[in-house]
């Protein structure tokens, strides 16, 4: 027997994804990420989900608000259907290996690669000189989050695609530079009708927790009245809904509401238009509001219930961090060996 017949190292399917606990979560986070995290968990694949508090501090966070938002995001995950027994659920800062591998990847990623990251340009704005070094280096930490678990699939919204592609570049360069097949090249999984949920006030802008207008987004903490009111007041145009998706061209607000309806209903934009073609927003919006309240209000109610016992949330996060650490540590140790660090503490 020669080694040529030895099976090639393969990576078992494993899902990793994360959400920043900087402010509350929005309908965009829910449809683009959280709802799909639950679907992945329910498919039976190993799923690891992280509240990335170390990413959150790339812009200044009020400490008390950050702590609250981290617990609230954990409550949102559980309320949306993440089972902390079937999935690993934890906050990033409790597993130090993220920062350690993040440093290694700072030494792998090239400045030229980082300079192409559109999200840094958007977030740093005109005054990039005043942005933190962490904001600039953040995609290397995100690569560490994913590769620390040898994850193969990364469900994200459309805006994170470039960062997952950078993660693949970092994995490939590491493997090449050290002559190993150690890190997998993880795939971004960007699926469903709402991979980019837009602002309710401006269909050309992404729905975001940092938008100054609360009317631009639905928060996962909004109650039924707030959800319905925001949908009723969402910006639209005067035309009726078309009978095919092509008819949404040049109508960003209409397209956004149709996509949201489809994602909430687990359907497709084409099927939604089959049902509502020819109807105006006066008829469509109340139906969308009913659907949104039906799907989202139970989540906000359950979040409120869970938040009444923060000690229990902390216990869940501690247990999740222990489980995450058990996967991450050996991979980090092997990384250090590969790159030539003396590890003599046993």
CA dist 90 and 318 (Å) reads 7
Supply the minimum distance, in Å, between the C-beta of residue 185 and ligand TYM.
Answer: 14
Supply the minimum distance, in Å, between the C-beta of residue 145 and ligand TYM.
Answer: 4
Using Cβ positions, the residue closest to ligand TYM within the complex turns out to be 32
Q: Which is nearer to ligand TYM, 194 or 226 (CB)?
A: 194
CA dist 303 and 333 (Å) reads 37
CA dist 5 and 16 (Å) reads 31
Q: Which is nearer to ligand TYM, 50 or 307 (CB)?
A: 50
Question: Are the beta carbons of 18 and 49 closer than 8 angstroms?
Answer: yes
Q: DSSP string covering 113-167, please?
A: HHHT-HHHHHHHTT-GGGS-HHHHHHHHHHHHHHHTTT--EEE--GGGHHHHHHH
Q: Which is nearer to ligand TYM, 197 or 328 (CB)?
A: 197
Which active-site residues does the annotation give?
123, 206, 209
- Give the binding site for ligand TYM (CB under 6 A): 16-20, 28-29, 32-33, 52, 55, 142, 145-146, 154, 156-157, 159-160, 163, 195-197, 206-207
Q: Which is nearer to ligand TYM, 16 or 174 (CB)?
A: 16
Supply the minimum distance, in Å, between the C-beta of residue 22 and ligand TYM.
Answer: 7
Supply the minimum distance, in Å, between the C-beta of residue 223 and ligand TYM.
Answer: 21
* Tokens 């061209």 -> residue: 249
Supply the minimum distance, in Å, between the C-beta of residue 1 and ligand TYM.
Answer: 40
- Its sign, for the CA torsion 147, 83, 57, 203, is positive
Residue 197, SS3?
coil
Q: Which is nearer to ligand TYM, 22 or 236 (CB)?
A: 22
Alpha carbon separation from 79 to 38, 120, 213, 220, 290 (Å, rounded): 11, 31, 25, 10, 20
Question: Are the beta carbons of 214 and 202 closer than 8 angstroms?
Answer: no
Question: Are the beta carbons of 55 and 20 closer than 8 angstroms?
Answer: yes
> CB neighbours of 232 closer than 8 A, spacing ≥ 6?
285, 286, 289
């Amino acid at each position: 027997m020669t080694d040529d017949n030895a099976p090639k190292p393969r990576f078992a399917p494993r899902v990793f994804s994360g959400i920043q606990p900087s402010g509350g979560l929005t309908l965009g986070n829910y449809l683009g990420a959280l709802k799909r995290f639950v679907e992945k968990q329910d498919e039976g694949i190993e799923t690891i989900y992280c509240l990335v508090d170390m990413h959150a501090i790339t812009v200044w966070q009020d400490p008390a608000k950050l702590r609250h938002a981290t617990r609230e995001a954990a409550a949102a995950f559980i309320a949306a259907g993440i089972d902390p027994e079937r999935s690993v659920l934890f906050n990033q800062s409790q597993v130090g290996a993220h920062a350690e591998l993040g440093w290694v990847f700072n030494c792998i990623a090239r400045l030229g690669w980082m300079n192409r990251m559109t999200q840094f340009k958007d977030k740093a704005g005109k005054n990039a000189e005043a942005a933190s070094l962490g904001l600039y280096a953040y995609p290397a930490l995100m690569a560490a989050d994913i590769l620390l678990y040898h994850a193969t699939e990364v469900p994200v919204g459309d805006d994170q695609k470039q960062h997952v592609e950078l993660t693949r570049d970092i994995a490939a360069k590491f493997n090449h530079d050290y002559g190993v097949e150690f890190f997998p090249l993880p795939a971004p999984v960007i699926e469903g009708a709402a991979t980019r949920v837009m602002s309710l006030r401006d269909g050309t802008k992404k729905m975001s927790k940092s938008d100054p207008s609360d009317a631009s987004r639905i928060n996962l903490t909004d109650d039924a009245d707030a959800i319905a009111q925001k949908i009723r007041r969402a910006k639209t145009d005067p035309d009726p809904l078309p009978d095919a998706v092509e008819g949404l061209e040049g109508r960003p607000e209409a397209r956004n509401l149709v996509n949201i309806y489809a994602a909430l209903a687990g359907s497709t934009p084409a099927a939604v238009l089959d049902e509502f073609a020819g109807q105006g927003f006066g008829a469509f919006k109340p139906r969308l509001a009913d659907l949104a309240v039906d799907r989202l209000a139970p989540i906000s109610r359950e979040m409120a219930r869970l938040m009444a016992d923060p000690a229990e949330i902390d216990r869940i996060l501690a247990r999740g961090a222990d489980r995450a650490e058990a996967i991450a540590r050996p991979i980090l140790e092997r990384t250090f060996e590969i790159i030539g660090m003396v590890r003599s503490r046993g």
